[in-house]
Structure 1
């Protein structure tokens, strides 16, 4: 029997300029959707009366409103799945909030709209009244828990594992179109291409070795894969994060732990202070992160920015109720410019500045400063 599968919307083409080296482009593709480590991802369930889609009723020409609200049983499954990812020990944490304006992740339960999620930081481009994740059928059944874990994997920045170029899967394309074009998925050919047949760039894939047991591998029945022969009978992942999944998320989101000052400090550690008008060298390798604290000596507008020939993501958080809240951020990846944000900092409050490096070129010397 065909399972209902994750149906990601078509992903936007990265707006990288021409002339990038293969190494630089690869670093951008692999890390452009990942959050900076130490981020608290706030999630909410959309359940206001206005949270609904207006869709046509087939064969009638009429429209009907389909609400996005879900039952408490489905919500509890989602909460438990967030806890399961959290219990891997990752440095990103999840917190449920009631106000959508405080949530980076906004979850709806519109029936018939498929199950999907924005991938990583792509969630930030969605409007505050829009979903970043939808669960399109009853996920309270035990067999459906895997699809929720899968969508949270997307929210963390993970992509479909069965689309990895290292999988070496040779699909029977027309059989796949026919299978997924019928019940219960009713996918268009474009949706099938986006979620199954399109092979990812090697840099987008999570690892250089394919993991058929990854929670990001979708299940498929027999007759769809021609080669390798061992998968002609179908793909049957476990539906839970595999050891390779854990290794991947811990590589990007390591837990808090002792680190040298200014070189990837973990959450909750004594972080380096970023003092106005005093630059702090970064000395990072690709994928590494530096964390700093700022306690402004006066209330005013400040600029926080990076320097050097590097592609970076820079994010400023304000500490509220003991946790960091996103204040401003800038990704200068693939451009000749440096990341910089203009923010109002208030004396007596505490702020965190986090910088993640994609890659360097030229001198390779990088720094961050607040002024």
Structure 2
């Protein structure tokens, strides 16, 4: 049986048989905007020339299918060695995985070709590659991960039966011993947020010799491999899971009877009890999951892989449902296929299972029962590698995602009966993949505005005796103000007004033995003062006065167990110190001394799940590290390492109702985002994004609480503008 090819936006790049090396180059410079390209034939879609970033490109609309015409031929053109290169445009996107180009190599003339031999799709992102299915590779190059628009040079090299793929000359995929001979290439693209286009397309390579005839492109459809081919479950892949809490729209491309439709809807919702995901069944064909009722097998695309296929193509099929189908069959088949639809793979292929298949008996059984070829049977039953699954749990032979296994097809008297409901492990583990959310505490509306004098460059909040206080300091003049905060979160009366010497660049509150202290540091000179705070929120006597080396740019206080520590970092040199704080509030022994890379602009401490972490970000490059903090107060191993967009000037953590959050802000454009922090210290899902709708210039963001309510304080150092936002739960 032949399977039907599903690809989002497809460009078939086909050449012609000839006796000489074939070179083909097209940069579209001689083409007119909005015209059809001269050397390309439209199979489907418009395929017009457009301009992106000042360059003429071949525009890739959704579902466009194009192929080049070379010497009047358009197939069987790749030879024993070839190189394909092109420049791909990546638009500005909210997430680097939202746009990619898809490359397929084919032995045949259009679909799976002769002997169904083809590669799995190579999904080319701006910063790496995804290869799924029989071969798995998810390589990422962190320095290439940007969200702004960018061009990438893509290159494929094939020689001596080995395929290599490069992005900007960096090798991202190498596949030796390719199991067939490529004869053509297809190129696709997908972008949920912007534009796609290629230019400078070049093909260099020896073509097939002594070929006769021109086989037709043949797309047939029979029993499509139940995405059992691409899957396996409680066993899942993170790359295929939907966003937690998402409502998936489900539509029917074929019209079911009332009995069939009711059963599908009812049993699909079995997952909703245990997973934070919803199915909304809608009229029409515009669904994330699109159900067909073509006779034959039942199957489903796996998770977000459904996004890679045209909106008029089904992503799930129920091939034997009728009004007389048994309740057990409705239940187990529907729950199983919707398990695939939310990203789960087959449990009998679990790497931790190790089923003792009698493969000759297996092949005979599935050939007789399902008319499957050996390869198809192997794809559906063979144990997957650990690398091919992102989340493989302990093997569960009661899982709804497990095939029935008769004793006759195993070599060790092993069998599994029909599983027609969710197992206890299914219920537990799907709730881990899609956990129900805790209440979200996001940035609410602006409730108070103030216009103060410019120059305030240190902002800190103090909690003492059930009262919240606000400290403001100007390094340029030495002015220090302390205000008492009112019960409604607004800024109240000024209770402290002093002029210290200028140059204090860091002001931090910390607590030891239930007493509060104010730490002051001058970056330019290394002067350090520590004052004890009075019960009324005013600054008390100085208890510590030292002169350290200059250059300390970041300071953080944190508590581990019942001990308090001081973290210091130098922007210019990368020096890192951690000192223990004595019980009397003075700075004690140096317990950690390291040299890190320079230019970390922000260091912030946070806690989650009773563990402490240090967060670091570089404004210039967007590099982000999170290190755990050990129980002795020293900085431990790195647990998070990513490259985000450049320009983040503020990173603040706050915690409420046992949940930690990260708030990011860019001074230059007002862009602000808020994230969950997971229990293992990682950045979780985004829960607030202002889409750069705030004005620029916000230099400080601090979170504070008054009574049971939480607030955010924003300040512009350049002009003294202050906004206060409430934090609300939803």
| C-alpha contact (below 8 Å) 2:250/2:290 kept by paired residues | yes
CA drift at 1:143: 2.7
The 1:247–1:92 alpha-carbon spacing in structure 2 relative to 1, beyond 3 Å, is same
Aligned to 2:377: 192
Match of 1:132 among 315, 328, 331: 315
Q: 2 CA distance for matches of 1:211 and 1:92?
A: 23
Distance 1:205 1:159 in 2: 11
Q: Distance in 2 between matches of 1:205 and 1:211?
A: 17
Q: How does 1:1-371 map to 2 (within 5 A)?
A: 12=133, 13-17=135-139, 30-47=237-254, 69-88=255-274, 90-101=275-286, 103-112=287-296, 114-138=297-321, 140-144=325-329, 145-183=331-369, 185-201=370-386, 204=389, 206-227=391-412, 229=413, 231=414, 234-258=415-439, 276-278=670-672, 280=674, 283-284=677-678, 285=680, 289-294=684-689
Question: 1:3 corresponds to which residue?
Answer: none
TM-superposed CA distance for 1:237, in Å, is 4.3
d(CA) in 2 for partners of 1:182, 1:34? 34
Q: Which consecutive residues of structure 1, in runs of 5 or more, have no partner in the other structure?
A: 1-8, 21-28, 48-68, 300-371
Aligned to 1:50: none
Moved more, 216-225 or 197-206: 197-206
**Inter-CA distance 163–288: structure 2 relative to 1 (3 Å threshold):** farther
User: Are the aligned partners of 2:675 and 2:685 in contact in 1 as well (CA < 8 Å)?
Assistant: no
Cα–Cα, structure 1 residues 288 and 115, in superposed 2: closer, same or farther, change >3 Å? farther
CA deviation digits over 1:108-158, x for unaligned, max 9?
11012x111011110110110101101111264213120111000001111
Distance 1:280 1:99, change over 3 A: same
What's the secondary structure of 2:353's corresponding residue?
coil
CA separation in 2, counterparts of 1:287 and 1:226?
A: 44
| Aligned counterpart, 1:348 | none
3-state SS in 2 of match to 1:293: strand
- Against the structure 1 CA distance between its residues 273 and 211, is the aligned structure 2 distance closer, same or farther, given a 3 Å change threshold? same
1:94/1:286 CA distance change after superposition, 3 Å: farther
The structure number with the bigger radius of gyration is 2
Deviation at 1:98, TM superposition (A): 1.3
Cα shift at 1:93:
0.9
SS of corresponding position for 1:136: coil
Deviation of 1:84 (Å): 1.4
Contact 2:672 2:692 in 1 (8 A): no
* Partners of 2:399 and 2:422 within 8 A in 1: yes
RMSD (Å) for aligned C-alpha atoms: 3.5
Shift of 1:80: 0.6
Aligned equivalents of 2:137, 2:387: Cα separation in 1: 18
Instruction: Answer whether contact 2:347 2:396 (CA < 8 A) is retained.
Output: yes
For structure 2, the 5+ residue unaligned runs are 1-5, 7-119, 121-131, 140-170, 174-235, 444-607, 609-654, 695-730
Deviation at 1:16, TM superposition (A): 2.6
Residues 197, 99 of structure 1: alpha-carbon distance in 2 compared, 3 angstrom cutoff? same
**Alpha carbons of structure 1 residues 273 and 237: separation in structure 2 relative to 1, 3 Å:** farther
Q: Distance in 2 between matches of 1:177 and 1:286?
A: 47
User: Which residue of structure 1 aligns with residue 583 of structure 2?
Assistant: none
The structure-2 alpha-carbon separation of the partners of 1:143 and 1:128, relative to structure 1 and needing over 3 Å to count, comes to same
* 1:239-262 per-position Cα deviation (integer Å, ceiling 9, x unaligned): 211111111211011113236769
TM-score (norm: length of structure 2):
0.31
CA gap of 1:253–1:176, structure 2 versus 1, over 3 A, is: same
Higher relative contact order (CA 8 A, sep 6+): 1
Structure 1 residue 236: Cα displacement? 1.2
Conserved? CA contact 1:164–1:202, under 8 Å: no
Partner of 1:307: none
* Counterpart-to-counterpart distance in 1, 2:363 and 2:410: 12
- Matches of 2:690 and 2:344, distance apart in 1: 34
